[in-house]
Chains A and B, each alone.
Chain A
């Protein structure tokens, strides 16, 4: 059943976001800390367990895979809903602070990879 897969995805999502909120509260900040990351880890773990038990059926996977493949369309919609105008027109400082560190990040990245021999 497709809905089983979708339900597993939703379960991982809700529990992960919940953990993120709890961690945020524990740290004393008004923000979700890694909720999406926790949800992803839960989904990966459930997948491993289900595969081992032989419960991971094609029909079920369809329910998750649909959203997996909807990812790029969602990102396109997200890009179209960003405040691009204010970001570009809010002056040179915002553009500098937005772009220069990204370039530094790109420059630093290869050194990090070398240090970890990846």
Chain B
């Protein structure tokens, strides 16, 4: 047993492939045999992944889900930003440049609306909750955009570490919410063409959530959603600590 653990420890990524493969297999079987394919196997596997992330957090008290457990650290490498971004770029293979160009303006408009909707509603909720200082409001609003925009904004404005932690948590909740809701609501909101996927990526913004949600909805749409979503965090990091913060301070001054 000790020898096996040594091999696994030395070859963490390879063991990660095996673990994800097993998880995907059982999810597929469950989807086919129990649910008669009404929910795709990939959606179940992604949801089970989230459950494992929770379990990992309970057992390790770390911040990286199941991959904080030594045995499963390879899952963290496979799911880390390098492989995630590499695989997202590879999905561009199945996308048409012409279609992306055709919906470019729609993508851009939805990006701006998306950041506004999330920032403003995040600030409003924090306001109702009792926060009044512009720095905390702005950081929480930024956290409603993505779990990267929150801490980047908080650090730039000198927010307290509790508020920064809160903004990260809100961003992660958003990623989970988009992952879970997308396949459920896709048909209802008419998310079915490359153009609509680009707009969707711009509105929701969290590239992990959009890509995971679209993967569970229709894998053909993934590259179109991802191509706009990947700009969201950057534009959010640009607008939140500067222009949006400036507007917020003007509001809070005039309100007292």
* Contact, CB under 8 Å: B215 / A75: yes
Q: Which of B83-113 contact A (CB under 8 A)?
A: 83-97, 100, 103, 106, 109-110, 113
Q: Is the CB of A97 within 8 A of B143?
A: yes
Q: Which residues in chain A, 14-69, are within 8 Å of chain B measured between CB atoms? A: 16-17, 20, 23-24, 27, 29-37, 39-41, 43-45, 47-48, 61, 64-68
Q: Separation in Å of the B29 CB from the closest CB of chain A?
A: 15
Q: Quick one: which of A97-113 are within 8 Å of B by CB?
A: 97-102, 104-106, 108-110, 112-113
Q: Which of B30-38, B184-192, B247-255 contacts A (4 or more CB under 8 A)?
A: B184-192
Tell me if A93 and B78 are in contact (CB < 8 A). no
B227 within 8 A of A: yes
Chain A interface SS verdict (over half): helix
Q: Report the bound CA distance from A49 to B75 in whole Å.
A: 36
Which bucket holds chain A's interface residue count?
A: 35 or more
List, in ascending order, chain A residues with CB within 8 A of B237's CB: 24, 29-31, 33
Please tell me which one of the listed residues A47, A67, A91, A105 contacts residue B87 in the complex, with CB atoms under 8 A apart.
A67
Contact status A82-B23, CB under 8 Å: no
Which residues on the A side are within 8 Å of B92 (C-beta)? Answer: 12, 39-41, 43-44, 47
Contact A78 B84 (CB under 8 A): yes
Can you name the residue of chain A whose Cβ is closest to the Cβ of B223?
Answer: A40
Contact check, B106 vs A79: say whether CB atoms are below 8 A apart.
no
Bound-state Cα–Cα, A111 to B80, Å: 35
Contact (Cβ within 8 A) A112 B64:
no
A-side interface residues toward B, CB under 8 Å? 9, 12-13, 16-17, 20, 23-24, 27, 29-37, 39-41, 43-45, 47-48, 61, 64-68, 70-88, 90-91, 93-102, 104-106, 108-110, 112-113, 116, 118
The 3 residue pairs across chains A and B that have the minimum distance between CB atoms:
A98-B173, A85-B57, A33-B234
Q: List 14 A-B contacts (CB under 8 A).
A: A29-B238, A30-B237, A35-B230, A36-B230, A39-B85, A45-B97, A70-B83, A71-B91, A76-B46, A79-B46, A83-B64, A83-B65, A85-B57, A94-B166
